[in-house]
Structure 1
């Protein structure tokens, strides 16, 4: 948790100890607990194509896909590995187009959508190093927790979150 807080610094990112609060360790257990805790919320699991390439090694990965839809974000250099992975061999039949993915009422998990765009080829670390105050671009934007809808308070002089 301290490592995540350190990496987030003044960013509009709020690391939480949700797995500690829920008493979970594995992704599948966390997702199930979140769905129990927030039964009226509709979740989508986000992962990079680098994770899809090795998703078949995760504990109960098929159950993760059955638990909630998955949106895969393209990562430079990983598309071929992701598309030929054992997980993709199983998930391929559940692909939904981006347009179809927006029509949430017309499908249910398992569902998989690929989000393609022109990604920044730099690593997150390189982006942060290029502008040490990159989060300052967003400092004046009120941030609301997407799960609880509560405002995330920021300290006025530093931009750090509570």
Structure 2
């Protein structure tokens, strides 16, 4: 059935990943430990400004760039499901179910399984300064459009980031954001919205 993700060797589709052909989907990855208003700020801003049909919260087993070990996957999945219980929001552990550890490989797998859908990678502006540390980061940028939603970050760091510099000619103006899902990569835009300052690290100290 078109639009269903299947794990290698699995006979049943993975829960929640059906997509009608032509759907525009934001891919929002992270450990979400715990999910907070800043994450929702990214998801809701992207859905509204890009006119997305879905936002998939891709809950990762463990962020390889974070030294702190995350809470177990099932705990985080349930927290995100409770937190992101809104129309158009889908919470999934597809990365773990497919046995994939890195973003570039996950994007490739999803595009292969959903050739009739349009994906956009979503991330907060803090990641703009560090995406060059991700494995195969240029492959990510050149495989699907990217929407960067402003969150607390020195704007100079964002403007001077390696990605912003290397792909400056591929940046869309904010007014063109609705067309981003239809653009061929590399293509990216920077969306400025009122900021939420809470981080997962800050919230963990209160739990």
Give the structure 2 partner of residue 2 of structure 1: 74
Give the structure 1 partner of residue 141 of structure 2: 65
Structure richer in strand, relative to its length: 2
State TM-score, norm by structure 2. 0.55
Contact 1:5 1:15 in 2 (8 A): yes
Query: What displacement does 1:15 show?
Result: 3.7
Choose from 73, 76, 96 the match for 1:20: 96
Aligned pairs for 1:11-160 within 5 A:
11=83, 12=85, 15-104=91-180, 107-123=183-199
Q: C-alpha distance in 1, partners of 2:182/2:82?
A: 39
State TM-score, norm by structure 1. 0.69
CA-based RMSD: 2.8
Q: C-alpha distance in 1, partners of 2:144/2:116?
A: 13
Structure richer in helix, relative to its length: 1
Gaps of 5+ in 1: 131-162
Contact 2:180 2:187 in 1 (8 A): no
Q: C-alpha distance in 2, partners of 1:58/1:110?
A: 16
Structure-2 change in CA distance of 1:10 and 1:51 (3 Å): same
Q: C-alpha distance in 2, partners of 1:40/1:54?
A: 31
Deviation digits for residues 62-114 of structure 1, max 9, x if unmatched? 11011100000111234222211122211211100122232358731100100
Q: C-alpha distance in 2, partners of 1:35/1:76?
A: 31
Aligned residues: 131
